[in-house]
A and B are shown apart, each in its own frame.
Chain A
């Protein structure tokens, strides 16, 4: 093609919007490559580049930027301000492009559209049109690409919400057909334990960062229920039942998921996955723990990740947590019987 190559770091907002972003560049006819899934080297480089106080997801993001830098002509580092009305992402998302510029060494030029959905008819479209024009693509084509990418993103979300796994949702979003509904993986047909895992998408879906948490649970015979398969409307309702609305999107969802599950049950335990040094979660976790304690019953575990987290420690804690749930279950069953 000969056109510029755009690099998309696989971190932070990527896990919410990669369908939108990649769809957009595809629509422009611009080659866009994502960095590979996080690995040891990427994480280490990010950790070295960032200030010590930054949270793990920001550090690893830097690593992805540095991984891409020598191989692309432009880096796509959007500024995600609000993903929905009145709700912020996080101060670090708001300052991300400049943090990257300051910390990640020599970089190709950055593309940093402001993504702010505070108003209907968001300014995001205009910001992305600007990106297109920097890439030498005309307005008409940019608009079309944007619309199509939006539609693709919406379809991806909808299919996910029906409970399809992420790779199938991705295929469907790209226009592929879904297999028959009956082939959708069933939830716990065999009375397996179910544990909800709540946390930001960039922790949940980065298996290197979370040390393979979801797979580990599966191996322990537990079905992990991630927050995004809970009924969205009810989750948000639960979140907004608090005296004051939480003004961060991720935290609001976490809190909503937690409250919804505490209210309604349907799982045997809750794991809250957080990054050490995450500002919003420092408050949300505390609240959620309090609410869980007050309502009793549902076992709750906080898993804090940082660059020093080790697999052995995680495995031990998971086993202990799952054992505890099993014991409780057995006791309850015995109690019922007696």
Chain B
């Protein structure tokens, strides 16, 4: 059995570590690129979520590397993620690929079901082994998020162009090789120190941008055409509101874990959206409010075309923007998005934020402004 799984940012590092420490033969799909996107888009329903398409591209390319089993997460609605695996399975079947699928879902009552699935995956490992693997993976999730948080802050300050990304590349290697949570921590500290060394003082005209949106689109730079890095290069410090470890909380752990963490976000969203809507819809609204309160200059919402929860958020964000005087830019992306168009819009947005700052209109200055045309995509 050779197991593969979909990409989402640096997700592959902890998942690979966890599976291989349990003796599973792992095939990491080639990094997401144009080929994966094109393949996925070709075989997936046209109006399906973009992440579903990218997953599919991953599977098809991993197949070429010998994978025969897919490990995927599930869910129970209301957004589409919980049904991805079902659709993907039928597509693969019609393509004549005899892929086996193991779908890990939040247990709906029957813990036995979950156990059986894990048995299929890792055989009869002792509980201690499994827990050790999970602890290792969890420490990686957290560390990966911590380092990337810094990267998004420091990239706009680097003294030599590309220095931050060179540190990051090395860090990803270190963490991938770590065998215990302690090693992960040591590697993380080393990476953080190295980052601090390559960063200088904030550039002139620095603006701060918060990223909200659908989690896959936020976390997978190849899917969002490197929005965060582009912003950094335009002299913006970026903060991301959803992270890998959030995704684990919301998709793998039972609900209470998610909601506890969500409380401040939910409270912030409440005047604008008082009910969950699936996906990251509520988070997108709540975090936009919080960015405004914390004095950020602007917020960018990234969503895949046709994403249901983010359309709810997108409809509501103009009100948040107007009330809090924070500009919001919505980027709607899929396989048709073009780099040139994106770059132009980001430049214009950062310019706007800068001008607002100069005019003293900065954070909480009143008068928002929303631009939410789709990127590169026209309706049929």
Contacts and interface: CB of A to CB of B under 8 A. Distances in A.
Interface of A: 50-54, 79, 81, 86-92, 94-95, 98-99, 101-103, 114, 242-244, 246-248, 276-280, 282-283, 285-287, 290, 294, 306, 308
Given A92-B312, A287-B86, A101 B319 contact: yes
Contacts of B87: 283, 286-287
Contacts of A285: 45
B274 to A, nearest CB: 7
A91 B309 contact: yes
Which of A89, A92, A248 has the largest count of B CB atoms less than 10 A from its CB? A92
A12 B36 CA distance: 37
Contact of B372 (A51, A98, A247, A248): A51
Interface residues of B, number: 50
21 contacts: A51-B314, A51-B315, A54-B311, A88-B78, A91-B309, A94-B278, A95-B312, A95-B313, A102-B319, A103-B315, A242-B86, A244-B83, A246-B83, A248-B78, A276-B379, A279-B306, A282-B47, A282-B80, A283-B83, A285-B45, A287-B90
A79 B275 contact: yes
Interface in B61-86: 74, 76-80, 82-83, 85-86
Given A54-B315, A98-B274, A91 B281 contact: yes
Interface string B100-132: 000100000000000000000000000000000
Given A247-B76, A282-B45, A283-B48, A53 B312 contact: no
B90 A279 contact: no
Interface in B293-347: 305-309, 311-316, 318-319, 332
A321 B218 CA distance: 43
B99 to A, nearest CB: 14
Nearest to A293: B94
Which 4 pairs of residues, A with B, have the shortest CB-CB distance? A95-B312, A247-B77, A88-B78, A286-B45
B257 interface: no
A50 to B, nearest CB: 7
B374 interface: yes
B374 A53 contact: yes
Contact of A50 (B76, B83, B315): B315
A284 B365 CA distance: 46
A81 B275 contact: yes
Contacts of A50: 315
Interface in B21-49: 44-49
B51 interface: no
B276 interface: yes
Given A53-B374, A91-B309, A287-B87, A114 B275 contact: yes
Contact of B80 (A94, A99, A279): A279
Contacts of B362: none
Given A50-B315, A102-B316, A247-B77, 18 more contacts: A52-B374, A53-B305, A87-B77, A88-B77, A88-B78, A94-B277, A95-B273, A98-B316, A99-B316, A102-B272, A102-B315, A103-B315, A282-B46, A282-B48, A285-B45, A290-B90, A290-B94, A308-B379
B278 A91 contact: yes
Which of B48, B77, B272 has the largest count of A CB atoms less than 10 A from its CB? B77
B14 interface: no
A304 B45 CA distance: 14
Contact of A99 (B45, B78, B315): B315
B368 interface: no
Given A51-B372, A279-B79, A282-B48, A244 B309 contact: no
Contact of B86 (A88, A101, A103, A244): A244
B6 interface: no
B279 interface: yes
B290 to A, nearest CB: 17
Given A98-B274, A277-B306, A244 B74 contact: yes
A304 B275 CA distance: 30
A160 B376 CA distance: 46
A125 B79 CA distance: 26
Nearest to A274: B47
Contacts of B79: 91, 279
Nearest to A94: B277
Contacts of A287: 86-87, 90
A290 B43 CA distance: 12
